[in-house]
Amino acid sequence: MGCDYNPEQWPERVWAQDVVLMREAGITFATVGVFAWALLEPEQGRFEFGWLDRAMDLLAEGGIAVNLATATASPPPWLSRRYPQTLPVDREGRTLWPGGRQAWCPSSPVFRERAMSLVEAMATRYAEHPALAMWHVSNELGCHNGRCYCDVSAAAFQTWLRARYGDLDTLNEVWATSFWSQRYGDWAQILPPRLAPTHPNPTQSLDFARFSSDALLEYYLAERDLLRRITPDVPVTTNFMTLAHFSMLDYWRFAPEQDVISTDHYLVHIDQPTENAVRSELAFSGDLTRSLAGGGPWFLMEHSTSAVNWQPVNRAKAPGELLRTSLGHVARGADAVGYFQWRAGRAGAEKFHSGLVPHAGTDTKVWREVVQLGGILRRSTDLAGTRVHSQVGLLFDWPSRWACDLDSHPSSLVRAMDAPLALHGALWRQAVTVDPVAPTADLSAYRLLVVPTLYLVEDAAAATLHEYVAAGGHVVITYFSGIVDQNDHIRLGGYPGAFRDLLGIRTEEFFPLDSGQVVTVQPAASGPGTEAAWTRSTWTGSLWTELTHLDGATAVARYVDGPLPGQPALTRHAHGRGVAWYLGTALDDAALSTVLGRVCRDAGVQPVASVPAGVEVVRRSGDGRSFLFVLNHTPEPVRVEAHGHDLVTDTPVTGAVRIAAGGCAIIREGLVSTGSGGAGQG
């Protein structure tokens, strides 16, 4: 358990008290120096490390390991004053000036030179420091400067395109520049997709997103390689942002380059229809981070004890929610729990962001829950290294996400993250754990795959999915999937181009729905894929419908009304030894849960446990150990079958565990012990 610690923002006389309180709370690591460049290098080439030396020494004496940040996330004012060409520019041509953070262009060679000078000085000075446990490169790469449209970025974009395409003829073909007289005769004519009179070239926009992600990856690798040269035995990470609303970086490309996969996560209430949606988004983020870690443990670098400061309304966490949300990440594979930040700030833009030590001090709900969490984590060391094992994979791809969210599509209401969150949420409600996986991943371990709005798919990935189903796998594919190839070119012959044969259907035309418009969907009364319970209810669909013809598939549900009454809304197709389902609309939550419940049964997918609605369960296991996490998100107490030892209450469990409203449990299964110390015997 740990936190971001910013000693430079507080009088030095409180540092010793900080360490005492950290030990009381169970803090074992601190991330230090994230935004300290201006203090570490107050002018070019003059370093002042004395204050950081004293802070590092104090933490080492207190037994607290340091995750030392390279401090390059936010350059000091002198740098942009001296080198204004390092400042980023937005697509409208506006320079983003100092005064906030991350005011730097990812492609700037001047910025990189100055940043590497600082990193080298820090690595040399602290290479042998006893507190140094891990390097933290920059911070939340791409959070505020993920796309830079300046002239420096334009030149770097041209270089990237040369490497990707080799010659202009190929680029002109891929970008379809015969449209709107865009054909290029010189590399220097190519610009980032800046503000234009109308819609920019979509493939150009997609490639710029790819380039921008690669530019930040290249920057990360420059820092990482320098650190490895000086401190080869110290692991290196950079904190991802696997929140659903952040989309700037292709983390499938970043993940293999990390020594430790780490991420930040905050509850986002903006545009979330229900509290359940907020909770299931946390679960999605945890599952995605675990997949980026190859199924292994990962590091939660940041989350919050209570409210953040950057949403329109910053909601405080209810009593018990701090514990429940933290353990929600641990349940899904986190072996470290970090917070931003140690003390709630007294000044600056984040002064109303919660901390482990609130403005009101330690006689507070937040502090008491922090201490409680520290005790639980100390009792839970046996969890380290155990894994979550999933039977369901969810295909997830950042380039597809970028392409799906471009303009000039059939409906601007179709957003790339809506269907992934909806399908993952439906499985989350049924206690089925899911691994988000790259389309290029090995799919053979999964009984079921869900493919939500995979708008862009490469030929090889489409072939892999065909092979998976033919070999006996089950798949559910949603609307607006398989539409274009890797260059954002339509796959001709009818939708969903890449998956027509697999699904046994052909869609000739899309009929998107207006905002708020719903259609009635009626399940079939009989036939393959149907069950009697379906005939006792009707479903609703929103967002999307399409005119679909059956070409070997069976219609399992049809539209009753709307633009396409009588047409298929849900189909099922036997392909080889497997089954492929197609969902042509956005079903309501209850209907989607019903459909996925049926698909799971067909595929032999079992829930983790049988629990009441609103109760989340996840299991971590390995090397003869098994831990059942139970998180009660309801306002009522619940009982869940279990046998073992509850690490939250440090009590034995025989037959069932009672969990209070808003409470949680970690059951070390198959073991009943008594006395303090939890599950260390038996």
Active site residues: 140, 302
Three-class DSSP category at 370: helix
Q: Which residues of 229-245 are buried (b: 16+ CB within 10 A; e: fewer)?
A: ebbeebebbbbbbbbbe
Query: Is the N-terminal amide bond of 652 cis, ω within 30° of 0?
Result: no
**Distance, CA of 52 to CA of 58 (rounded, Å):** 10
Residue (of 58, 104, 56) closest to 80 by Cα position: 104
Residue 23: count of CB within 10 angstroms of its CB: 14
Distance CA(562)–CA(512), nearest Å, equals 10
What are the DSSP calls for 203-218, one per residue? Answer: HHHHHHHHHHHHHHHH
Q: For residue 396, which of 427, 334, 441, 431 has the smallest C-alpha distance?
A: 441
The number of angstroms, rounded, from the C-alpha of 211 to the middle of its chain's C-alpha atoms is: 20
Pairing of strands 664-669, 638-646: antiparallel
- Distance CA(593)–CA(525), nearest Å, equals 19
Under a CB-based contact definition with an 8 Å cutoff, are residues 504 and 580 in contact?
yes
Both structure tokens of 278: 């907020």
Q: Are 416 and 455 in contact (CB under 8 A)?
A: yes
Could you give the CA distance from residue 426 to residue 553 in angstroms, rounded to a whole number?
24
Q: Check: CB of residue 585 under 8 Å from CB of residue 541.
A: yes
Instruction: Choose among 249, 257, 251: nearest CA to 225.
Output: 257
Tokens matching residue 123: 């690595």
CA–CA separation, 119 and 372 (whole Å): 37
Which letter does DSSP use for residue 14 in this model? Answer: G
What's the rounded Cα separation, in Å, for the pair 489 and 332?
Answer: 37
Among left, alpha and beta (phi > 0; psi -120 to 50; other), residue 406 is beta
Pick left, alpha or beta for residue 144 (phi over 0 → left; psi -120 to 50 → alpha; otherwise beta): alpha
- Report the C-alpha gap between 77 and 93 in whole angstroms: 21
Q: Which two tokens stand for residue 200?
A: 């920019």
Which residues have C-beta within 8 Å of that of residue 106, sequence separation ≥ 6? 88, 142, 145, 148, 153, 212, 215, 216, 219
What is the DSSP secondary structure assignment for residue 342, as one 8-state letter? S
Question: CA angle, corner 313, sides to 309 and 318, nearest 5?
Answer: 85
Q: Considering only CA atoms, which of 237, 343, 329 is closest in space to residue 290?
A: 329
Q: Round to whole Å and give the CA distance between 204 and 455.
A: 17
Q: Are the beta carbons of 177 and 201 closer than 8 angstroms?
A: yes
φ, ψ dihedrals at 628, nearest 5° = -105, 115
Longest dimension (CA), the chain: 78
* Inter-residue contact 86 to 79 (CB < 8 Å): yes
